[in-house]
Structure 1
Amino acid sequence: MPLTDTVARNAKATDRAQKLTDEKGLYLLVHPNGSKYWRFKYHYLKLEKTLALGVYPEVSLKAAREKRDDARRMLADGIDPSEARKAAKARALQMAEDSFEAIAMEWAKRHLAARSESHRTRVIRRLEREVFPFLGKKPIASITAPDILAVLRKIETRGVLDTAHRTQQTIGTVIRYAVATGRAETDPTAALRGALPAYKSVHMAAHARKIFITPGAGLAPFQPMFR
């Protein structure tokens, strides 16, 4: 007889773990401490196996049945649901390890160590403020040129074009590091050449003004070749 939500809710703990059977391999395991866990018993390659489906009542009877049915569909396709879950967890872990933020911090630790503390702080703060909120959790190999351009446009609209260019340079450096270490295939920032308006830094502009105001400054006096 199928399990009902009332029976599951009112099940009392005993001195031994007890199983309240539903159907098609689903049951509720009630522990002596009163905790209740959904389990799905199945056979794969002639081996009896058990798949955890969550904790009751956080996972309702209806939701547990849906999870059981998903697992049964995998079995019908020749897939072991326990192994499929392990593979999914492994992929999620790998994606987290290969996220833009994780690789950027790895790059910073390796390649900014010899730079001044003020420089390291500026670069990391720029990443934390301008890039990580939008690209930080994405697998670095999946980041595209439009993804990066969207980030740069947000900076550009604030009127800080120099920051947009510096951010593009840093993103490109991090992705090229990922390419070199085998975690990305290409650097999409190469496709962004010319996507941002050109800018002249304050330092360059000041230097140009100095040269204009004092022509010949720093040059040796002209000496004629022949007398």
Structure 2
Amino acid sequence: MPLIELLGIAASASLLAGWRMYLVVLATGIAMRTGYVPLPDHLEGLQVLANPWVMGIAALGAAAEFFADKVAWLDSIWDAAHTFVRPVGGALLALAIVDPGDPAMQVVAFLLGGGGALAAHGAKAGARAAINTSPEPVSNVAMSTLEDAASVGLLWLIYEYPWAAAGVAALLLALTVWLVLTLRKLIRRVFGRRNPPPAGEGDHAKHGGGAPSA
């Protein structure tokens, strides 16, 4: 398999793990065990995900995440608790995908996989925290369901069509960067409103800030 396709699969899986780590592990394990989705032959490292114990734990985690993600306050707690778990999971997924005989590529995959998962997790958690401030539950449930469907669909896409994996990774990375920048602007706007300049300071600056004449 070409290197660009291999790196695309590793990057996409890691970024998706930043959203739905348990679901990514479970879906990959099911695909490996049933052969329903023809995964690339060289991904021997992912065979461990087809282990019944691994799939069972991933299924429990995916089920818990599915329901926790639909409740605003519980979703924020869940995301905070997985700030360390998701990046590590993304790094290990990327590590399992690349060639085990190339130590340099393994290091690169581990670092980039962990960094990508951390960035995706941060963007996802921040976006959901902003949505969770809404008193109505519809937007939170709708966004959570969209994340579930997108994670499964994109995971199937990169395994079924490895040549598209690099494009999927680029799309996910662009979405992550856009979310981070949008959240940064939102945070600055909110804190800017909460911390107005002291009374008189604006007028003082407007008139030049000089000392009053005698």
TM-score grouping bracket, smaller chain normalisation: under 0.3
Q: Select the structure that is richer in strand.
A: 1
Query: Which has the greater radius of gyration?
Result: 1
Q: Select the structure that is richer in helix.
A: 2
Higher relative contact order (CA 8 A, sep 6+): 2
| TM-score, length basis structure 1 | 0.24
